[in-house]
Chains A and B, each alone.
Chain A
Protein backbone atom coordinates (compact mmCIF):
# COMPACT_ATOMS: atom_id res chain seq x y z
CA UNK A 1 0.00 0.00 0.00
CA UNK A 2 1.27 3.44 -0.89
CA UNK A 3 0.38 4.92 2.52
CA UNK A 4 2.35 2.25 4.36
CA UNK A 5 5.33 2.46 2.07
CA UNK A 6 5.45 6.25 2.15
CA UNK A 7 5.07 6.32 5.94
CA UNK A 8 7.96 3.86 6.27
CA UNK A 9 10.12 5.91 3.91
CA UNK A 10 9.40 9.10 5.86
CA UNK A 11 10.30 7.33 9.09
CA UNK A 12 13.68 6.44 7.59
CA UNK A 13 14.06 10.02 6.41
CA UNK A 14 13.78 11.31 9.99
CA UNK A 15 16.45 8.91 11.28
CA UNK A 16 19.72 10.34 12.57
CA UNK A 17 21.57 8.42 9.85
CA UNK A 18 19.54 10.20 7.17
CA UNK A 19 18.39 13.82 7.61
CA UNK A 20 17.90 13.68 11.40
CA UNK A 21 21.21 15.43 12.02
CA UNK A 22 20.32 18.26 9.64
CA UNK A 23 16.99 19.07 11.27
CA UNK A 24 16.29 21.89 13.71
CA UNK A 25 15.33 20.97 17.27
CA UNK A 26 11.80 19.61 17.37
CA UNK A 27 11.55 18.99 13.65
CA UNK A 28 12.05 15.26 13.88
CA UNK A 29 8.87 15.23 15.91
CA UNK A 30 7.09 17.24 13.19
CA UNK A 31 7.90 14.52 10.69
CA UNK A 32 7.02 11.74 13.12
CA UNK A 33 3.65 13.36 13.91
CA UNK A 34 2.88 13.76 10.20
CA UNK A 35 3.76 10.10 9.64
CA UNK A 36 1.50 9.12 12.54
CA UNK A 37 -1.37 11.07 10.96
CA UNK A 38 -0.71 9.39 7.62
CA UNK A 39 -0.68 5.90 9.12
CA UNK A 40 -3.95 6.58 10.92
CA UNK A 41 -5.64 6.93 7.50
CA UNK A 42 -4.50 3.60 6.13
CA UNK A 43 -8.06 2.25 5.99
CA UNK A 44 -9.48 5.38 4.37
CA UNK A 45 -10.04 5.62 0.61
CA UNK A 46 -8.97 9.23 0.42
CA UNK A 47 -5.97 10.32 2.46
CA UNK A 48 -3.94 13.45 3.14
CA UNK A 49 -0.38 13.93 4.30
CA UNK A 50 0.32 17.35 5.72
CA UNK A 51 3.04 19.42 7.32
CA UNK A 52 1.61 22.87 7.86
CA UNK A 53 3.22 26.30 7.81
CA UNK A 54 2.49 26.83 11.49
CA UNK A 55 4.73 23.85 12.32
CA UNK A 56 7.03 23.27 9.36
CA UNK A 57 9.81 20.74 8.88
CA UNK A 58 12.74 23.04 9.67
CA UNK A 59 16.39 22.41 8.96
CA UNK A 60 19.15 23.71 11.21
CA UNK A 61 20.92 26.92 10.29
CA UNK A 62 23.64 26.34 7.72
CA UNK A 63 27.08 27.97 7.60
CA UNK A 64 25.70 30.93 5.62
CA UNK A 65 23.19 31.62 8.40
CA UNK A 66 20.33 30.46 6.24
CA UNK A 67 17.58 28.26 7.57
CA UNK A 68 15.25 26.37 5.28
CA UNK A 69 11.88 24.89 6.09
CA UNK A 70 9.37 22.80 4.21
CA UNK A 71 5.61 22.46 4.33
CA UNK A 72 3.62 19.91 2.38
CA UNK A 73 0.14 18.76 1.49
CA UNK A 74 -0.17 15.53 -0.45
CA UNK A 75 -3.58 14.16 -1.33
CA UNK A 76 -4.13 10.59 -2.41
CA UNK A 77 -6.77 8.06 -3.21
CA UNK A 78 -5.76 4.49 -2.48
CA UNK A 79 -2.45 3.89 -4.20
CA UNK A 80 -2.79 7.00 -6.37
CA UNK A 81 -1.27 10.38 -5.70
CA UNK A 82 -3.82 13.05 -6.59
CA UNK A 83 -2.11 16.29 -5.65
CA UNK A 84 1.28 17.41 -4.33
CA UNK A 85 1.75 20.92 -2.95
CA UNK A 86 4.98 21.76 -1.21
CA UNK A 87 6.56 25.02 -0.12
CA UNK A 88 10.22 25.69 0.54
CA UNK A 89 11.06 28.84 2.47
CA UNK A 90 14.55 30.26 2.89
CA UNK A 91 14.92 32.22 6.10
CA UNK A 92 17.89 34.42 6.74
CA UNK A 93 19.33 34.95 10.21
CA UNK A 94 22.08 37.33 9.12
CA UNK A 95 21.16 41.00 9.59
CA UNK A 96 23.49 42.17 6.84
CA UNK A 97 21.49 40.12 4.32
CA UNK A 98 18.08 41.00 5.71
CA UNK A 99 18.28 44.73 6.15
CA UNK A 100 19.76 47.23 3.73
CA UNK A 101 20.92 50.32 5.62
CA UNK A 102 19.62 53.51 4.00
CA UNK A 103 17.19 51.67 1.71
CA UNK A 104 14.87 49.61 3.91
CA UNK A 105 12.45 51.23 6.32
CA UNK A 106 13.12 51.30 10.05
CA UNK A 107 10.13 49.05 10.52
CA UNK A 108 11.97 46.26 8.70
CA UNK A 109 14.89 46.65 11.10
CA UNK A 110 12.58 46.62 14.09
CA UNK A 111 10.74 43.56 12.85
CA UNK A 112 14.00 41.74 12.11
CA UNK A 113 15.31 42.62 15.57
CA UNK A 114 12.14 41.16 17.10
CA UNK A 115 11.98 37.99 15.03
CA UNK A 116 15.71 37.47 14.50
CA UNK A 117 15.04 36.19 11.02
CA UNK A 118 13.29 36.97 7.78
CA UNK A 119 12.14 35.01 4.76
CA UNK A 120 14.30 35.83 1.73
CA UNK A 121 12.80 33.45 -0.77
CA UNK A 122 9.74 31.22 -1.12
CA UNK A 123 9.23 28.47 -3.67
CA UNK A 124 5.88 26.82 -4.25
CA UNK A 125 5.89 23.45 -6.01
CA UNK A 126 2.25 23.01 -6.93
CA UNK A 127 -0.34 21.41 -9.12
CA UNK A 128 -2.62 23.55 -11.22
CA UNK A 129 -5.79 24.38 -9.34
CA UNK A 130 -8.83 22.82 -11.02
CA UNK A 131 -10.87 25.36 -12.97
CA UNK A 132 -8.17 28.03 -13.08
CA UNK A 133 -8.49 30.39 -16.04
CA UNK A 134 -4.81 31.33 -16.13
CA UNK A 135 -2.73 29.09 -18.43
CA UNK A 136 -0.37 27.25 -16.10
CA UNK A 137 1.56 23.98 -16.36
CA UNK A 138 -0.05 21.05 -14.64
CA UNK A 139 2.84 20.92 -12.15
CA UNK A 140 4.80 24.11 -11.73
CA UNK A 141 7.16 26.15 -9.61
CA UNK A 142 6.07 29.57 -8.46
CA UNK A 143 8.51 31.93 -6.74
CA UNK A 144 6.96 34.12 -4.06
CA UNK A 145 3.36 33.33 -3.30
CA UNK A 146 1.45 34.64 -0.32
CA UNK A 147 3.62 34.98 2.79
CA UNK A 148 2.46 35.01 6.40
CA UNK A 149 2.96 38.28 8.31
CA UNK A 150 5.69 36.91 10.56
CA UNK A 151 7.84 36.03 7.56
CA UNK A 152 8.64 39.74 7.00
CA UNK A 153 9.00 38.79 3.39
CA UNK A 154 8.57 41.48 0.81
CA UNK A 155 6.99 40.07 -2.25
CA UNK A 156 4.02 41.66 -4.04
CA UNK A 157 1.06 39.38 -3.46
CA UNK A 158 -0.39 40.46 -6.80
CA UNK A 159 2.53 38.97 -8.69
CA UNK A 160 1.35 35.42 -9.30
CA UNK A 161 3.55 34.63 -12.29
CA UNK A 162 5.72 33.25 -13.77
CA UNK A 163 4.96 29.61 -13.23
CA UNK A 164 7.72 27.35 -14.46
CA UNK A 165 6.90 23.83 -15.44
CA UNK A 166 8.43 21.64 -12.79
CA UNK A 167 7.96 18.05 -11.61
CA UNK A 168 6.06 17.38 -8.38
CA UNK A 169 8.33 17.51 -5.34
CA UNK A 170 7.41 15.59 -2.20
CA UNK A 171 9.13 16.00 1.18
CA UNK A 172 11.88 13.46 0.44
CA UNK A 173 12.75 14.98 -2.93
CA UNK A 174 12.78 18.44 -1.38
CA UNK A 175 15.10 17.19 1.36
CA UNK A 176 17.56 16.01 -1.27
CA UNK A 177 17.36 19.40 -2.98
CA UNK A 178 17.98 21.15 0.35
CA UNK A 179 20.97 18.96 1.20
CA UNK A 180 22.57 19.57 -2.18
CA UNK A 181 22.00 23.32 -2.05
CA UNK A 182 22.30 24.26 1.60
CA UNK A 183 24.44 21.49 3.16
CA UNK A 184 26.54 20.53 0.18
CA UNK A 185 29.72 19.53 2.05
CA UNK A 186 28.13 18.22 5.24
CA UNK A 187 25.74 15.96 3.36
CA UNK A 188 28.26 14.50 0.92
CA UNK A 189 28.60 11.22 2.86
CA UNK A 190 24.85 10.82 3.22
CA UNK A 191 24.23 11.44 -0.47
CA UNK A 192 26.74 8.73 -1.34
CA UNK A 193 24.87 6.07 0.62
CA UNK A 194 23.06 3.51 -1.55
CA UNK A 195 20.16 3.33 0.91
CA UNK A 196 19.69 7.14 0.74
CA UNK A 197 19.67 6.99 -3.04
CA UNK A 198 17.12 4.19 -2.83
CA UNK A 199 14.90 6.34 -0.60
CA UNK A 200 15.03 9.26 -3.02
CA UNK A 201 14.48 7.01 -6.04
CA UNK A 202 11.33 5.60 -4.46
CA UNK A 203 9.91 9.12 -4.20
CA UNK A 204 10.98 9.83 -7.77
CA UNK A 205 9.01 6.80 -8.94
CA UNK A 206 5.95 7.52 -6.83
CA UNK A 207 5.68 11.25 -7.41
CA UNK A 208 7.52 11.97 -10.65
CA UNK A 209 7.28 8.78 -12.71
CA UNK A 210 4.02 9.67 -14.46
CA UNK A 211 5.09 13.31 -14.88
CA UNK A 212 8.28 12.40 -16.71
CA UNK A 213 6.55 9.76 -18.83
CA UNK A 214 4.16 12.44 -20.04
CA UNK A 215 6.97 14.93 -20.33
CA UNK A 216 8.95 12.58 -22.55
CA UNK A 217 5.98 12.24 -24.90
CA UNK A 218 5.72 16.04 -25.00
CA UNK A 219 9.42 16.30 -25.91
CA UNK A 220 8.73 14.08 -28.91
CA UNK A 221 5.45 15.71 -29.78
CA UNK A 222 5.25 17.26 -33.22
CA UNK A 223 1.84 18.79 -32.60
CA UNK A 224 2.63 21.11 -29.74
CA UNK A 225 5.41 22.56 -27.60
CA UNK A 226 6.23 21.16 -24.16
CA UNK A 227 4.70 24.16 -22.39
CA UNK A 228 1.79 24.16 -24.78
CA UNK A 229 1.08 20.54 -23.87
CA UNK A 230 1.53 21.12 -20.17
CA UNK A 231 -0.92 24.01 -19.96
CA UNK A 232 -3.63 22.19 -21.85
Chain B
Protein backbone atom coordinates (compact mmCIF):
# COMPACT_ATOMS: atom_id res chain seq x y z
CA UNK B 1 0.00 0.00 0.00
CA UNK B 2 1.45 3.39 -0.98
CA UNK B 3 1.87 6.05 1.70
CA UNK B 4 -0.87 8.72 1.53
CA UNK B 5 0.81 12.10 1.26
CA UNK B 6 -0.91 15.45 1.61
CA UNK B 7 1.18 18.18 0.02
CA UNK B 8 0.27 21.73 1.10
CA UNK B 9 1.49 24.66 -0.98
CA UNK B 10 0.27 28.10 -2.00
CA UNK B 11 1.65 27.88 -5.54
CA UNK B 12 -0.77 26.03 -7.78
CA UNK B 13 1.90 25.30 -10.37
CA UNK B 14 4.03 23.61 -7.71
CA UNK B 15 1.09 21.56 -6.48
CA UNK B 16 0.56 20.24 -9.98
CA UNK B 17 4.26 19.90 -10.77
CA UNK B 18 5.09 17.75 -7.75
CA UNK B 19 1.94 15.66 -8.08
CA UNK B 20 3.13 14.84 -11.59
CA UNK B 21 6.72 14.25 -10.46
CA UNK B 22 5.64 11.84 -7.73
CA UNK B 23 3.53 10.00 -10.31
CA UNK B 24 6.30 9.79 -12.90
CA UNK B 25 9.35 8.96 -10.77
CA UNK B 26 9.79 5.20 -10.66
CA UNK B 27 11.09 5.32 -7.06
CA UNK B 28 8.10 7.38 -5.87
CA UNK B 29 5.03 6.15 -7.73
CA UNK B 30 4.86 2.74 -6.06
CA UNK B 31 5.49 4.13 -2.60
CA UNK B 32 3.55 7.38 -2.41
CA UNK B 33 0.02 8.50 -3.33
CA UNK B 34 0.08 12.29 -3.30
CA UNK B 35 -2.85 14.67 -2.79
CA UNK B 36 -2.01 18.33 -3.42
CA UNK B 37 -4.02 20.81 -1.33
CA UNK B 38 -3.84 24.59 -1.20
CA UNK B 39 -3.09 26.19 2.17
CA UNK B 40 -5.91 25.75 4.71
CA UNK B 41 -7.70 28.96 5.69
CA UNK B 42 -10.91 27.67 7.24
CA UNK B 43 -12.03 24.74 9.41
CA UNK B 44 -13.45 23.20 6.24
CA UNK B 45 -10.00 23.23 4.65
CA UNK B 46 -8.59 21.35 7.62
CA UNK B 47 -11.45 18.85 7.33
CA UNK B 48 -10.42 18.25 3.75
CA UNK B 49 -6.89 17.39 4.87
CA UNK B 50 -8.34 15.17 7.56
CA UNK B 51 -10.55 13.33 5.07
CA UNK B 52 -7.49 12.57 2.96
CA UNK B 53 -6.33 10.49 5.93
CA UNK B 54 -2.67 11.54 5.50
CA UNK B 55 0.27 9.37 6.47
CA UNK B 56 2.75 12.10 5.58
CA UNK B 57 2.32 15.87 5.40
CA UNK B 58 4.56 17.93 3.11
CA UNK B 59 4.31 21.67 3.77
CA UNK B 60 5.81 24.49 1.78
CA UNK B 61 7.63 27.13 3.87
CA UNK B 62 6.69 30.33 2.05
CA UNK B 63 2.90 30.62 1.95
CA UNK B 64 2.23 34.22 0.99
CA UNK B 65 0.60 33.82 -2.44
CA UNK B 66 -3.19 34.33 -2.49
CA UNK B 67 -5.41 31.49 -3.73
CA UNK B 68 -8.13 31.73 -6.41
CA UNK B 69 -10.40 33.51 -3.89
CA UNK B 70 -7.62 36.01 -3.24
CA UNK B 71 -7.16 34.68 0.30
CA UNK B 72 -3.79 34.31 2.01
CA UNK B 73 -3.13 32.07 4.97
CA UNK B 74 -0.96 34.75 6.58
CA UNK B 75 1.43 32.39 8.32
CA UNK B 76 4.57 30.51 7.26
CA UNK B 77 4.87 26.77 6.81
CA UNK B 78 6.70 26.57 10.14
CA UNK B 79 3.75 28.13 11.99
CA UNK B 80 1.28 26.03 10.03
CA UNK B 81 3.17 22.92 11.08
CA UNK B 82 2.34 23.55 14.76
CA UNK B 83 -1.37 23.74 13.96
CA UNK B 84 -1.14 20.60 11.89
CA UNK B 85 0.81 18.79 14.63
CA UNK B 86 -2.04 19.60 17.00
CA UNK B 87 -4.58 18.14 14.59
CA UNK B 88 -2.48 15.26 13.25
CA UNK B 89 -0.31 14.33 16.21
CA UNK B 90 0.64 10.93 14.82
CA UNK B 91 1.54 11.92 11.27
CA UNK B 92 5.04 12.97 10.19
CA UNK B 93 5.37 16.57 9.05
CA UNK B 94 8.03 17.60 6.57
CA UNK B 95 8.89 21.14 5.57
CA UNK B 96 9.11 20.98 1.78
CA UNK B 97 10.81 24.11 0.51
CA UNK B 98 13.42 25.74 -1.67
CA UNK B 99 16.98 26.60 -0.67
CA UNK B 100 16.42 30.15 -1.94
CA UNK B 101 13.65 30.85 0.59
CA UNK B 102 14.63 28.65 3.54
CA UNK B 103 18.29 28.70 4.49
CA UNK B 104 18.74 25.89 6.98
CA UNK B 105 21.74 27.64 8.55
CA UNK B 106 19.35 30.42 9.64
CA UNK B 107 17.27 27.85 11.51
CA UNK B 108 19.91 25.75 13.23
CA UNK B 109 18.47 22.99 15.37
CA UNK B 110 14.93 23.77 14.18
CA UNK B 111 14.09 20.06 14.26
CA UNK B 112 15.27 19.75 17.85
CA UNK B 113 13.48 22.84 19.10
CA UNK B 114 10.30 22.61 17.05
CA UNK B 115 8.66 19.25 17.67
CA UNK B 116 6.19 20.01 14.88
CA UNK B 117 8.76 19.46 12.13
CA UNK B 118 10.21 16.00 11.57
CA UNK B 119 12.34 16.79 8.56
CA UNK B 120 13.28 19.54 6.11
CA UNK B 121 13.48 18.60 2.45
CA UNK B 122 14.48 20.82 -0.43
CA UNK B 123 12.30 20.61 -3.52
CA UNK B 124 15.30 20.69 -5.84
CA UNK B 125 16.93 17.69 -4.10
CA UNK B 126 14.12 15.19 -3.71
CA UNK B 127 14.15 13.70 -7.23
CA UNK B 128 17.91 13.83 -7.82
CA UNK B 129 19.21 10.52 -9.14
CA UNK B 130 21.64 9.96 -6.28
CA UNK B 131 19.29 11.22 -3.57
CA UNK B 132 17.99 8.91 -0.87
CA UNK B 133 15.35 11.41 0.29
CA UNK B 134 12.40 9.45 -1.10
CA UNK B 135 13.61 6.36 0.72
CA UNK B 136 14.04 8.38 3.93
CA UNK B 137 10.52 9.86 3.62
CA UNK B 138 9.15 6.39 3.13
CA UNK B 139 10.93 5.07 6.23
CA UNK B 140 9.78 8.12 8.21
CA UNK B 141 6.16 7.47 7.23
CA UNK B 142 6.45 3.74 7.81
CA UNK B 143 7.98 4.34 11.25
CA UNK B 144 5.15 6.66 12.23
CA UNK B 145 2.64 4.13 10.94
CA UNK B 146 4.17 1.43 13.15
CA UNK B 147 4.01 3.77 16.16
CA UNK B 148 0.38 4.71 15.34
CA UNK B 149 -0.66 1.11 15.13
CA UNK B 150 0.85 0.14 18.48
CA UNK B 151 -1.86 -1.04 20.82
CA UNK B 152 0.49 -0.91 23.83
CA UNK B 153 2.27 2.35 24.52
CA UNK B 154 4.54 0.94 27.19
CA UNK B 155 8.32 1.30 27.42
CA UNK B 156 8.75 -2.43 26.79
CA UNK B 157 6.60 -2.28 23.65
CA UNK B 158 8.69 0.60 22.33
CA UNK B 159 11.91 -1.26 23.07
CA UNK B 160 10.55 -4.20 21.10
CA UNK B 161 10.05 -1.91 18.10
CA UNK B 162 13.69 -0.92 18.32
CA UNK B 163 14.88 -4.49 18.87
CA UNK B 164 16.82 -3.48 22.00
CA UNK B 165 18.44 -6.04 24.28
CA UNK B 166 18.09 -5.82 28.06
CA UNK B 167 21.43 -4.02 28.49
CA UNK B 168 20.61 -1.60 25.64
CA UNK B 169 17.24 -0.89 27.26
CA UNK B 170 19.03 0.32 30.36
CA UNK B 171 21.23 2.63 28.29
CA UNK B 172 18.27 3.90 26.27
CA UNK B 173 16.48 4.75 29.48
CA UNK B 174 19.36 7.07 30.33
CA UNK B 175 19.23 8.69 26.90
CA UNK B 176 16.63 11.29 27.88
CA UNK B 177 13.73 9.20 26.65
CA UNK B 178 10.35 10.98 26.44
CA UNK B 179 8.54 7.98 27.92
CA UNK B 180 7.11 8.46 31.39
CA UNK B 181 6.02 5.46 33.38
CA UNK B 182 2.30 4.90 33.47
CA UNK B 183 1.62 7.68 30.97
CA UNK B 184 2.77 5.96 27.81
CA UNK B 185 4.22 7.87 24.90
CA UNK B 186 3.18 10.14 22.06
CA UNK B 187 4.18 9.12 18.54
CA UNK B 188 5.71 12.46 17.53
CA UNK B 189 7.94 12.82 20.59
CA UNK B 190 9.06 9.19 20.44
CA UNK B 191 9.79 9.57 16.71
CA UNK B 192 11.86 12.69 17.39
CA UNK B 193 13.74 10.93 20.20
CA UNK B 194 14.58 7.90 18.09
CA UNK B 195 15.59 9.88 15.02
CA UNK B 196 17.31 12.88 16.61
CA UNK B 197 18.97 11.22 19.59
CA UNK B 198 19.13 7.43 19.50
CA UNK B 199 20.04 7.16 15.83
CA UNK B 200 21.81 10.51 15.62
CA UNK B 201 24.40 10.29 18.40
CA UNK B 202 26.89 7.44 18.68
CA UNK B 203 26.95 5.51 21.92
CA UNK B 204 24.23 2.87 21.82
CA UNK B 205 24.02 2.56 18.05
CA UNK B 206 26.96 3.13 15.74
CA UNK B 207 27.17 4.15 12.10
CA UNK B 208 29.76 2.63 9.79
CA UNK B 209 32.59 4.97 10.83
CA UNK B 210 32.08 4.39 14.55
CA UNK B 211 31.46 0.67 14.14
CA UNK B 212 34.65 0.18 12.15
CA UNK B 213 36.65 2.28 14.66
CA UNK B 214 35.26 0.20 17.54
CA UNK B 215 36.50 -2.94 15.81
CA UNK B 216 39.86 -1.43 14.88
CA UNK B 217 39.35 -1.82 11.14
CA UNK B 218 38.96 0.70 8.31
CA UNK B 219 35.53 1.78 7.08
CA UNK B 220 36.30 0.04 3.78
CA UNK B 221 37.09 -3.21 5.55
CA UNK B 222 33.86 -2.93 7.55
CA UNK B 223 31.86 -2.37 4.35
CA UNK B 224 33.28 -5.48 2.68
CA UNK B 225 30.69 -8.14 1.95
CA UNK B 226 32.00 -10.80 4.29
CA UNK B 227 32.41 -8.42 7.24
CA UNK B 228 28.90 -7.08 6.66
CA UNK B 229 27.61 -10.63 6.64
CA UNK B 230 29.47 -11.40 9.86
CA UNK B 231 27.96 -8.43 11.64
CA UNK B 232 24.45 -8.75 10.15
CA UNK B 233 23.07 -9.93 13.54
CA UNK B 234 24.28 -6.65 15.07
CA UNK B 235 22.51 -4.46 12.50
CA UNK B 236 19.68 -2.22 13.66
CA UNK B 237 16.41 -3.36 12.12
CA UNK B 238 14.02 -1.24 14.14
CA UNK B 239 11.82 1.65 13.07
CA UNK B 240 13.28 4.65 11.23
CA UNK B 241 16.27 2.56 10.13
CA UNK B 242 18.57 5.04 8.32
CA UNK B 243 19.64 4.24 4.74
CA UNK B 244 23.34 4.19 5.72
CA UNK B 245 22.68 1.67 8.49
CA UNK B 246 23.26 1.52 12.24
CA UNK B 247 24.68 -1.28 14.40
CA UNK B 248 24.09 -2.02 18.08
CA UNK B 249 27.39 -1.45 19.87
CA UNK B 250 26.61 -4.21 22.36
CA UNK B 251 25.95 -6.71 19.56
CA UNK B 252 29.05 -5.66 17.60
CA UNK B 253 31.07 -6.49 20.72
CA UNK B 254 29.30 -9.83 21.18
CA UNK B 255 29.95 -10.89 17.59
CA UNK B 256 33.56 -9.65 17.65
CA UNK B 257 34.44 -11.42 20.92
CA UNK B 258 32.79 -14.63 19.71
CA UNK B 259 35.29 -14.69 16.82
CA UNK B 260 38.39 -14.14 18.95
CA UNK B 261 40.52 -16.86 20.52
CA UNK B 262 41.95 -16.69 24.04
CA UNK B 263 45.14 -14.91 22.98
CA UNK B 264 43.26 -12.34 20.90
CA UNK B 265 40.85 -11.65 23.77
CA UNK B 266 43.76 -10.70 25.98
CA UNK B 267 44.50 -7.80 23.62
CA UNK B 268 42.45 -4.59 23.43
CA UNK B 269 39.50 -5.21 21.07
CA UNK B 270 40.94 -2.88 18.42
CA UNK B 271 44.03 -5.08 18.20
CA UNK B 272 42.47 -8.46 18.92
CA UNK B 273 39.56 -8.31 16.52
CA UNK B 274 41.51 -7.43 13.33
CA UNK B 275 43.94 -10.22 14.24
CA UNK B 276 41.01 -12.65 14.59
CA UNK B 277 39.59 -11.51 11.26
CA UNK B 278 42.95 -11.98 9.53
CA UNK B 279 43.31 -15.45 11.05
CA UNK B 280 39.88 -16.49 9.83
CA UNK B 281 39.94 -14.87 6.38
CA UNK B 282 43.63 -15.57 5.81
CA UNK B 283 44.03 -12.13 4.31
CA UNK B 284 45.36 -8.77 5.56
CA UNK B 285 42.75 -6.40 7.00
CA UNK B 286 43.15 -2.65 6.79
CA UNK B 287 43.20 -1.00 10.23
CA UNK B 288 41.40 2.17 11.39
CA UNK B 289 44.03 4.85 10.81
CA UNK B 290 44.26 8.14 12.71
CA UNK B 291 43.43 11.05 10.39
CA UNK B 292 46.13 13.16 12.04
CA UNK B 293 49.06 10.84 12.71
CA UNK B 294 48.38 7.86 10.49
CA UNK B 295 48.80 5.59 13.54
CA UNK B 296 46.52 2.62 13.98
CA UNK B 297 44.28 1.49 15.46
CA UNK B 298 42.55 4.82 16.02
CA UNK B 299 40.36 4.87 19.10
CA UNK B 300 37.78 7.64 18.45
CA UNK B 301 36.04 9.44 15.59
CA UNK B 302 36.54 13.10 14.73
CA UNK B 303 33.16 14.83 15.01
CA UNK B 304 34.02 17.34 12.28
CA UNK B 305 35.79 15.16 9.71
CA UNK B 306 33.89 11.94 10.55
CA UNK B 307 37.16 10.04 10.37
CA UNK B 308 39.03 7.88 12.91
CA UNK B 309 41.44 9.66 15.23
CA UNK B 310 43.59 8.78 18.24
CA UNK B 311 42.17 10.21 21.47
CA UNK B 312 45.55 11.72 22.20
CA UNK B 313 45.27 13.77 18.99
CA UNK B 314 41.79 15.14 19.69
CA UNK B 315 39.95 17.52 22.03
CA UNK B 316 36.54 17.38 23.62
CA UNK B 317 34.02 19.18 21.37
CA UNK B 318 30.61 20.28 22.66
CA UNK B 319 28.82 20.90 19.39
CA UNK B 320 25.47 19.55 20.57
CA UNK B 321 23.46 18.62 23.64
CA UNK B 322 23.74 14.85 23.42
CA UNK B 323 22.84 12.85 26.54
CA UNK B 324 25.85 11.91 28.68
CA UNK B 325 25.24 8.22 28.03
CA UNK B 326 26.30 8.81 24.42
CA UNK B 327 29.93 8.91 23.29
CA UNK B 328 31.66 12.21 23.83
CA UNK B 329 32.14 14.28 20.66
CA UNK B 330 35.83 14.99 19.98
CA UNK B 331 37.53 17.02 17.29
CA UNK B 332 40.79 15.89 15.71
CA UNK B 333 43.93 18.03 15.59
CA UNK B 334 43.62 17.61 11.82
CA UNK B 335 40.21 19.34 11.78
CA UNK B 336 41.50 22.06 14.13
CA UNK B 337 44.31 22.74 11.66
CA UNK B 338 42.52 22.34 8.35
CA UNK B 339 38.72 22.42 8.53
CA UNK B 340 36.52 25.47 8.06
CA UNK B 341 33.80 23.61 9.91
CA UNK B 342 35.82 23.59 13.14
CA UNK B 343 34.36 26.06 15.64
CA UNK B 344 36.65 26.96 18.53
CA UNK B 345 33.67 27.96 20.68
CA UNK B 346 32.73 24.29 21.08
CA UNK B 347 36.06 23.47 22.77
CA UNK B 348 36.18 23.87 26.56
CA UNK B 349 38.66 26.39 28.03
CA UNK B 350 41.19 23.70 28.95
CA UNK B 351 41.29 22.47 25.37
CA UNK B 352 41.24 25.99 23.98
CA UNK B 353 44.54 26.72 25.72
CA UNK B 354 46.10 23.93 23.65
CA UNK B 355 44.87 25.13 20.24
CA UNK B 356 47.77 27.51 19.42
CA UNK B 357 50.26 24.69 20.09
CA UNK B 358 48.18 22.19 18.10
CA UNK B 359 48.20 24.54 15.10
CA UNK B 360 51.98 24.87 15.28
CA UNK B 361 53.03 21.34 16.17
CA UNK B 362 54.52 19.10 13.51
CA UNK B 363 52.56 15.98 12.67
CA UNK B 364 53.99 12.92 14.44
CA UNK B 365 55.20 11.50 11.13
CA UNK B 366 56.76 14.87 10.19
CA UNK B 367 58.65 15.15 13.46
CA UNK B 368 60.73 12.06 12.67
CA UNK B 369 64.07 13.05 11.18
CA UNK B 370 64.65 11.69 7.70
CA UNK B 371 68.33 12.45 7.24
Is A bound to B? yes
What is the interface of chain A, defined by CB distance below 8 A to chain B?
8-9, 12, 16-17, 189, 192-195, 198-199
Which B residues are closer than 8 A to A by beta carbons? Answer: 299, 310-316, 324, 328, 348-351, 353-354
Provide the bound-state CA to CA distance between A189 and B327, in Å. Answer: 12
Inter-chain contact B350/A12, CB cutoff 8 Å: yes
Nearest CB of chain B from residue A17's CB, rounded to whole Å: 6
Interchain CB contact (< 8 A) of A195 among B299, B310, B324, B350: B350
A193 touching B316, Cβ below 8 Å: yes
Chain A residues within an 8 Å CB radius of B350: 9, 12, 195, 198-199
A1 to B315, CA, bound (A): 25
Contact B316 A198 (CB under 8 A): no
Is there contact, CB below 8 Å, between B348 and A193? Answer: no
Q: How far is the CA of A199 from the CA of B348 in the complex (A)?
A: 12
A189 touches B299 (CB 8 A): yes
CB closest residue in chain A, given B358: A194
- Chain A residue, CB-CB nearest to B347: A195
**Contact partners of A194 in chain B: CB under 8 A:** 312-315, 351, 354
Lowest 8 A-B CB distances belong to which pairs? Answer: A192-B311, A195-B350, A195-B351, A192-B312, A16-B324, A198-B350, A17-B328, A189-B311
* A189 surroundings in chain B (CB, below 8 A): 299, 311
Q: Is there contact, CB below 8 Å, between B311 and A17? A: no
Contact B354 A193 (CB under 8 A): no
Known pairs A12-B348, A16-B324, A17-B328; A193 contacts B312 (CB<8 A): yes
B323 to chain A, nearest CB (A): 10
* Chain A residues, Cβ within 8 Å of B299: 189, 192
In the complex, what residues of B have CB within 8 A of residue A195's CB?
Answer: 315-316, 348, 350-351, 354
Smallest beta-carbon distance A172→chain B, Å: 12
8 CB < 8 A contacts A-B: A8-B349, A189-B299, A192-B310, A193-B315, A193-B316, A195-B354, A198-B353, A199-B350
Whether B353 and A193, one on each chain, are in contact in the complex, defined by CB atoms closer than 8 angstroms, is: no
- In whole angstroms, how far apart are the Cα atoms of A195 and B299 in the complex? 16
Question: Which of B313, B328, B350: most chain A CB closer than 10 A?
Answer: B350
- Measured CB to CB, the nearest residue on chain B to A12 is B350
CB nearest to A190 among chain B residues: B311
A189-B348 Cα distance, complex, nearest whole Å: 18
* Besides A17-B316, A189-B311, A194-B314, 4 other A-B contacts (C-beta < 8 A): A192-B311, A195-B348, A198-B354, A199-B350
Q: Which residue in chain A gives the minimum CB-CB distance to B324?
A: A16
**Please, how many angstroms separate the alpha-carbon atoms of A195 and B331 in the complex?**
12
Q: Which residues of A contact B328 (CB under 8 A)?
A: 17
Residues of A near B311 (CB, < 8 A) are 189, 192-193
